[in-house]
Structure formats: structure tokens, C-alpha cells
Amino acid sequence: MFIAVLFILILFPEEAQMGAIDGLKAAFETVTVAILPFAVVSSALIYSGFAKKMGDFCAPLFKRLKLHPYGATALITGLLGGYPTGCKIACEMYGEGLIDKEECEKILSYTNNGGLIFALNVCGNAMFQDKRAGVIIFIASTVSALLAGLIFARGDYSVKTGENKKLPLMAALGKSIASGGSVVLNIVASFIVFYAVASALRLDNVPFLEGIFEMTKGVAYAGKIKNIPLAAFFFSLGSLGVFAQSAAICSEYDISLKKYVQGKLLQATGAFLVAYLIVNRPFFGKEIVLFSFLAVVGVIFSIKAIKKLYAKA
């Protein structure tokens, strides 16, 4: 794969260069401006111990749903910080011994999501010029993430007694700046590489495929045609760029991404359906409730059937 990418960049150097420039502009003009301040703040919440308190507050609900209580911490910080914060937090909890490997892989199925500020500022204001669109995209993504958790991460969990070390305020702020800067640097590098390859392959002629390759391209395309459900699909799926960032983090802890991929596919489909229902039926009728119920049941049985076929293969 890497050899193929190398040849693409060599064969189409001008297109790749223009794509890299566009990626750098997109990263600094939209994504970095929206993400960096909030990435620092959300990291400060983690290192100061406040994020764990939020997780503890949500733990009773998660226990009733048979989800790991620490999943609340990863989910909340992921929704605040955006990609790949949820993945980073889940892996760090495993590294600190708060959860085991299997629990970490399950938590990853629903906690690595696009952030609130990215949804409102980039998707809503920049791409759609409509704050309402950003709110709908975020709601659809959050609902579909919880659905993925209920399908892929349910179980009986025992919470370990270990806790994250709580840092003083200034120490937490200093560490969060370094952490947030590292995350943004990875995002910028990812934008440059994936924009360059997408440009070299001329994926702008195939907007949907371009969106799979790079999330912001997909959301931008959805913004041009004013299609909020499609934007929710790309936002919840992430992209190959986001997957590469998450894979790099997970590789440090030897964590499998199988559950992550399953969760992302379900999240993208669910987010599209939820956003479609919100946009087209703001007041749900009985037929919409029935359709939603049947859709969820159908997805669950389809996944179980695929698992059985996979096990027999």
C-alpha cells in the first residue's frame, strides 16, 4: 500500500503539491483554529481530574446500560475534544491499568468521535453557514455512538480501584498545551498527506470517495449540496486520515481496531438515519418511531448473522 502511495506521489507531483497546500490551508484556516483551543482545554480537564468526575457522574447510567463506567469518561472527553481524543483516552486508561485490553477495544467502538466545537464551527458555520446544521450533525453522531456502544460494548464489568493522577492546575495546563499541540500537529500532518494523495488521484471527481478518504472534504461536499444527513455520515465515520491517527495511537498499546471499525460503520449509518429523521420529520410521527425501531432491530440481527457466518467460515 505504501509503495502504491509513493508511486502516486512520484507520478503526479504537481497535483500532490497542490493538494498538500490545500490540506495545509484547510488545517490552519478551519480545523486547527477550531480544535487547538478546545483540545488544550479538554486535555486540562483530563489531567486535572475533572473529566474523571464527569465520568463518575455518568457511571450509574452506564452501569444500567451494561457499559463500562470508564467508557463515560472516554465518551465525554472524546465528544469535547474530537478526533482522536476518545481513542487516546481509552488507550491511556488501558495503559494505566484502569481497564483491560478487551474492555479498551470495546470502549473504542463508540468513544472516538467528532468534537462539539468542530461540529458547530467547522461543519455548521464554515461548511453550511448554518449553526442548526452543526447541532443536528453533532446530535446524530452522539446518538449513533451510543447505539454502537449498546451493540458492541455491553457486558458485565468490574471497575478497578486505580485512578488517574491528579495534577495541580498550572501543571495540568502546561501538560495539556503539549498534548493538544501534539494532537493538532498529527492532524495537520494527516491533512497534508491525505489531501496530497486525494489530489493526485483526482478524487474530486468522485466526491463521496473523496469524503471517505478525508472527512472534511466529505463534509464540505455535503455543505455545497446542503445535505445534512450526508455530512453526519462523514462526520461520524471519520475518514482514512482519522483511522490512521487512531491506528498510530492503538499500535503503541497493541490494541486491535476490529471493534473500532465495526462501531464506525454502524455509527455512520445510524447518524445518517437520525439526521435524516430530524431534518425531514422534526416532529416524529408514529410511523417514524416504528421505522426507527425496525431499523435498529434490523441492524442488530444483521450484525449477529454476520458474526455467525464469520465464526463458521
Asked if residue 6 belongs to a domain, the reply is no
pLDDT higher at 29 or 83 = 83
What residues make up the domain containing 245? 11-308
Asked if residue 254 belongs to a domain, the reply is yes
Round the average pLDDT of the chain to a whole number and report it.
Answer: 79
Q: What is the pLDDT of residues 68-104, one digit of tens each?
A: 888 888 888 888 778 888 888 888 788 877 788 999 9
Give the pTM.
Answer: 0.78
- On whether the CB atoms of residues 291 and 274 are closer than 8 A, the answer is no
Q: What is the pLDDT of residues 142-158, one digit of tens each?
A: 999 999 999 999 887 76
User: What cell does 66 get?
Assistant: 451494561
Asked if residue 1 belongs to a domain, the reply is no
Q: What is the pLDDT of residues 248-264, one digit of tens each?
A: 888 889 999 999 999 99
Q: Residue 116: pLDDT band by 50, 70, 90 thresholds?
A: confident
Asked if residue 5 belongs to a domain, the reply is no
> Letter for the amino acid at 12?
F
Whose cell is 462539539? That residue is: 116
Q: Residue 234: pLDDT band by 50, 70, 90 thresholds?
A: very high
> Letter for the amino acid at 145?
A
Asked if residue 300 belongs to a domain, the reply is yes
C-alpha to C-alpha distances, 130 to 36, 38, 275, nearest whole angstrom: 22, 21, 15
Q: What is the largest CA-CA distance in the chain?
A: 57
Asked if residue 269 belongs to a domain, the reply is yes
Among 225, 227, 214, 247, which residue's Cα sits nearest to residue 30?
214
Asked if residue 2 belongs to a domain, the reply is no
- Please tell me the predicted confidence (pLDDT) of residue 42: 62
In angstroms, the CA 83 to CA 254 distance is 19
DSSP secondary-structure letter at 168? Answer: P
| The dihedral sign for the CA sequence 272, 78, 182, 96 | negative
Cα 181 to its chain centre, rounded Å, is: 18
**Number of structural domains found in the chain:** 1
Asked if residue 27 belongs to a domain, the reply is yes
